[in-house]
Amino acid sequence: MSPAAALIIDLILNLIIAVSSAAVIISYFLSDADVGGEPERKVTLRYFTTDSNILACLAAAVMSVCDAVALASPGTGIPYFARILKYAGTVAVAVTICTVILFLLPSALAAGNTSEAKALFAGKAFVVHLSTPVLSILSFVLFENAKGFTFAESLWTMLPAVIYSVVYLIMVVFVKRWPDFYGFTFGGKMYMIPVSVIGIYLLSLGAATLMRCVPPIPLTVQ
């Protein structure tokens, strides 16, 4: 595939990510739907799903602009800041989709709650739990990675998950302002929190590391 074709495909993917995720995120902030007894607009930032999709949306929007500039100006590459931002956003939503598939979905099915399991991928959840993560991973791995990131830079992409886990721990365990909506205490078993947190960190690092192993298609048009 030529660099020009790769740029066009990457631009389309990033536009889809940016527009679809922005539409869903905005709808969350306008919604008065009941979420645990509070309006959705007031609690949506509590969820890593929302936070990771905001980051992925911002990264895709920036990358869309960079793709368009690279197409219009042959010889122009993708700036480092755009690539590292997309890297971080992609790792964040990769953690989201893996958490949904490996933890939330099995938990719902094990409890016999098929309606909750279906809701994980229905309506708006389809965008934030599935399409944005999948398209972000595809666009980054196939077109944007460039295998140029070091292991140390991979560690920086874990920062969103690390910051969120600290906030979640404080708000759920110490301040007790949030319910354990992700179930990381496994029904109040506080000793399970370190296991859950370590699992999230390993998941984040694993996603960041795997994304560096696939040789991408160059995006610089000669």
Kindly report the number of other CB atoms within 10 A of residue 16's CB atom.
17
- pLDDT at position 216 is 61
What 3-state class would DSSP assign to 185? coil
Cα separation, 22 vs 10, in Å, equals 18
- pLDDT at position 82 is 93
- pLDDT at position 222 is 40
The domains of the chain are located at 3-211
- pLDDT at position 100 is 92
- pLDDT at position 218 is 56
Instruction: With a cut of 50, list the residues of the chain below it in pLDDT.
Output: 221-222
- pLDDT at position 150 is 84
Q: Are 14 and 125 in contact (CB under 8 A)?
A: no
Non-local CB neighbours of 104 within 8 Å, separated by 6+ positions: 120, 182, 183
Cα separation, 186 vs 78, in Å, equals 43
Hey, what amino acid is at 29? F
Q: What would the pLDDT profile of 127-143 be if each residue is shown by its tens digit?
A: 999 999 999 999 998 88
